[in-house]
Structure 1
Amino acid sequence: MTKKALCIMSGGMDSTLVAYIMRSRGYEIVALHFNYGQRTADKELESFRSICNDLEVREKYEIDLDFFKTIGASALTDHSIDVPTGGIEAGVPITYVPFRNGIFLSIATAIAEKEGCSAIAIGVVEEDSSGYPDCRESFIEAFTKAANLGTKDSTKVTIEMPLVRLQKSQIVQEALALGAPLHLTWSCYQSEERACGVCDSCRLRLRGFERAGAVDPIEYV
């Protein structure tokens, strides 16, 4: 029987690599994408679909979550808050979306149970992330326990986070080694045409490519 992994995929570099890692481990990929009112929702969805085509995914889910815009409190979903472009700062940034990964994982658990997936995979990165509390390894481990307590006894799911301890440069190197289509990925927080190059996500991505001695294949302003 084929083992299946539900991969939460934003269209970005990290979650794309996770999907290719899970495929390399022999899993059939079930892909999950969220449209949650983020500034670059259309571009991220386009990237997700292109990556799914490259992976030859047979089953994918696109979930709309409009309540994040109602909550606000994040520069990603509230257009009255500017996306920071002055450089990466310590602490939790204004681009943090309240408990986003917790909500994503809750929905992912329901789909994984329905699809018979033995694993959920998420591209959280702790060491080289932007300081998001819901990217911490301890949080994912705690959520795994809750997911298994809240599902059928026959449902046994692990939450895989293969990048959690990697630096962005290592992620670039691993993606290149696995042949992940980085040219299809999108990381920019604020632009859908050419990446801005100055938001936190662009800075992390560009620094990762530089330290890996590689050239980023996407176009920047």
Structure 2
Amino acid sequence: MKTIVICSGGLDSVSLAHMVAANRKLTGLVSFDYGQRHRKELDYAALCAKRLDVPHDIIDMRGIGAALTGSALTDDVDVPDGHYAEETMRVTVVPNRNAIMLTVAYGIAAARGDQAVATAVHGGDHFIYPDCRPDFTQAFEFMQYMALDGYADVSLYTPFVHRSKADIVTEGQRHNTPFAETWSCYKGGAHHCGRCGTCVERREAFDLAGIADPTHYDDPDFWAEAVKRKILA
């Protein structure tokens, strides 16, 4: 099935791209510049496209992102440290981000004759991000079916929506994902900070999967403390 993958350059979406390349017909990657704190992750998406030898489109959404104010990912707001399950992580929500990206990706897929759009939303996202939840993805796919009725038939491929990030690490290893060539950290420094929500979740996922984490973290031990706080909360 001809499938395009929404790829941020992070562990989840790069693992998904390798999985699609192995199990389906990967026709390209699409990434979005929405004015996020740093473009570093987009460089890793470009590396993935080059490695898998597929086209890579970067959609300029900076004008839209500028209007989606209030998020630590787009505004001058401190990125909080800790596990995603902590209430402070809500400041990382960019309103309707996935809904907007999926809409654009569906348009690209329909225009190019692709049969599916793949996105790496997973179970760990459900607590904070409403447009990563199963109810949303099911409703969105039906909405797009109606939007493209009679013009194109494009499905939504979300193989991780009911699975954990540890499961993604396992699938990524199975499909030879070079984890060191992915970027998750929200802070965009020289190395992963090891303290922000996505760093903590990344480090925890490798531990739960029992797979060696090749990532260099500035604070490699903080994750264990953050996970403990989540359990005791």
TM-score normalised by L of structure 1: 0.92
Partner of 1:97: 94
Q: Distance in 2 between matches of 1:152 and 1:61?
A: 25
Q: Distance in 2 between matches of 1:69 and 1:196?
A: 25
Partner of 1:144: 141
Of 33, 36, 39 in structure 2, the residue corresponding to residue 35 of structure 1 is 33
Q: CA RMSD in A?
A: 1.6
Q: Distance in 1 between matches of 2:197 and 2:189?
A: 15
Correspondence 1:176 to 2:160: no
2:90 aligned counterpart, secondary structure: coil
Partner of 2:119: 122
2:4 aligned counterpart, secondary structure: strand
Alignment length (residue pairs): 216
Q: How does 1:102-113 map to 2 (within 5 A)?
A: 102-113=99-110
1:176 aligned counterpart, secondary structure: helix
Q: Distance in 2 between matches of 1:28 and 1:68?
A: 28
Is this contact kept in 2: 1:87–1:200, CA < 8 A?
Answer: yes
Of 190, 194, 198 in structure 1, the residue corresponding to residue 191 of structure 2 is 194
| Unaligned stretches of 5+ residues in structure 2 | 219-233
Is this contact kept in 1: 2:19–2:171, CA < 8 A?
Answer: no
Whichever residue aligns with residue 87 of structure 1, its letter is: H
Is this contact kept in 2: 1:9–1:31, CA < 8 A?
Answer: yes
**What CA deviation, in whole Å up to 9, does each residue of 1:77-133 have, x standing for no partner?**
001x11111433345611010000000011011100111010000000124656211
Q: How does 1:56-95 map to 2 (within 5 A)?
A: 56-57=53-54, 59-66=55-62, 67-79=64-76, 81-90=77-86, 93-95=90-92
Whichever residue aligns with residue 204 of structure 1, its letter is: E
Is this contact kept in 1: 2:122–2:161, CA < 8 A?
Answer: yes
**What CA deviation, in whole Å up to 9, does each residue of 1:112-165 have, x standing for no partner?**
011101000000012465621110011011111111211251411110001111
Q: Distance in 2 between matches of 1:151 and 1:190?
A: 38
Q: Distance in 1 between matches of 2:113 and 2:37?
A: 33
Q: How does 1:151-162 map to 2 (within 5 A)?
A: 151-162=148-159
Q: Distance in 1 between matches of 2:202 and 2:143?
A: 32
The structure where helix makes up a greater share of residues is 2
Q: Distance in 2 between matches of 1:186 and 1:130?
A: 22
Is this contact kept in 2: 1:90–1:131, CA < 8 A?
Answer: no
Q: Determine what percentage of the aligned residue pairs are the same residue.
A: 35
Whichever residue aligns with residue 98 of structure 1, its letter is: P
TM-score normalised by L of structure 2: 0.87
Cα deviation, residue 28, structure 1: 2.7
Q: Distance in 1 between matches of 2:108 and 2:208?
A: 37
Q: Distance in 2 between matches of 1:206 and 1:34?
A: 25
Is this contact kept in 1: 2:110–2:152, CA < 8 A?
Answer: yes
